[in-house]
């Protein structure tokens, strides 16, 4: 019996139409690759469309922050292999920083901790707090003399998270809520030609705060 719902041969797409559709789909994918994916993900803009759509800068930020994170990880690995003499020097520096934090905390009144530091051209620094899962810390940091790139993130054994990233930022404030128990804080890098001064102020649910 003839079924009216069954397409007849004339209604089916021909091989030529299928090939044409496949070619058009491939061309569309290539166009999207060069106009959207490469600018947005890698900062590569061969057509110039990425700049018009403001995607190229986003991709450059992603790549630069990824490079800085890799450089930071390499620096931490090198720190683990330092000699005991260098470690002793770091301990003295950390103690001096702790004393400074205690003094500024008392003087500030409003904020629990206030940490000033200077970044030379190309220099980076990481400061983290020990926080329990769900803990909240109010923060504010301001740059004088320029701007910085930053990555607000957290880590623990087998865990890592990035809360926010930015490039060419002169100030930021908000509430950092710990996604898990561990170390949470910021990494800054000065990509400018001149030294910059940064002041970080914090208060909230953390037990310690220190330079990593």
So where are the chain's domains? 14-72, 84-211
The reported pLDDT for the residue numbered 107 is 45
The reported pLDDT for the residue numbered 191 is 93
* CA-based nearest residue to 178, from 134, 123, 115: 134
User: What's the pTM?
Assistant: 0.51
CA-derived radius of gyration, the chain: 26
* CA-based nearest residue to 127, from 204, 202, 68: 202
Q: What is the C-alpha separation between 205 and 136, in angstroms, rounded?
A: 5
Q: What number of residues does the chain have?
A: 212
The reported pLDDT for the residue numbered 156 is 93
Which CATH class for the 84-211 domain? Answer: mainly beta
Q: What is the C-alpha separation between 40 and 38, in angstroms, rounded?
A: 6
Distances (CA, A) of 144 to 116, 118, 170: 11, 9, 8
The reported pLDDT for the residue numbered 32 is 73
Which regions in the chain score pLDDT beneath 50? 2, 78-89, 91-96, 98-108
């Amino acid at each position: 019996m003839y079924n009216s719902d069954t397409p007849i041969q004339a209604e089916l797409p021909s091989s030529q139409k299928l090939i044409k559709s496949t070619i058009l789909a491939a061309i569309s994918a290539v166009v999207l690759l060069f106009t959207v994916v490469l600018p947005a993900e890698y900062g590569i803009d061969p057509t110039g469309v990425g700049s018009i759509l403001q995607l190229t800068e986003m991709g450059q930020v992603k790549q630069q922050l990824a490079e800085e994170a890799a450089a930071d990880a390499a620096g931490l690995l090198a720190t683990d292999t330092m000699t005991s003499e260098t470690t002793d020097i770091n301990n003295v520096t950390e103690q001096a920083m702790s004393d400074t934090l205690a003094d500024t905390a008392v003087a500030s009144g409003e904020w629990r901790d206030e940490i000033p530091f200077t970044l030379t051209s190309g220099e980076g620094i990481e400061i983290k707090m020990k926080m329990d899962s769900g803990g909240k810390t109010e923060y504010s940091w301001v740059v004088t003399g320029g701007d910085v790139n930053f990555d607000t993130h957290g880590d623990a054994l087998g865990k890592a998270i990035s809360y926010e990233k930015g490039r060419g930022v002169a100030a930021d404030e908000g509430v950092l809520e710990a996604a898990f128990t561990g170390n949470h804080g910021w990494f800054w890098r000065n990509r400018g030609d001149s030294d910059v001064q940064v002041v970080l102020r914090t208060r909230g649910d953390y037990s310690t705060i220190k330079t990593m």
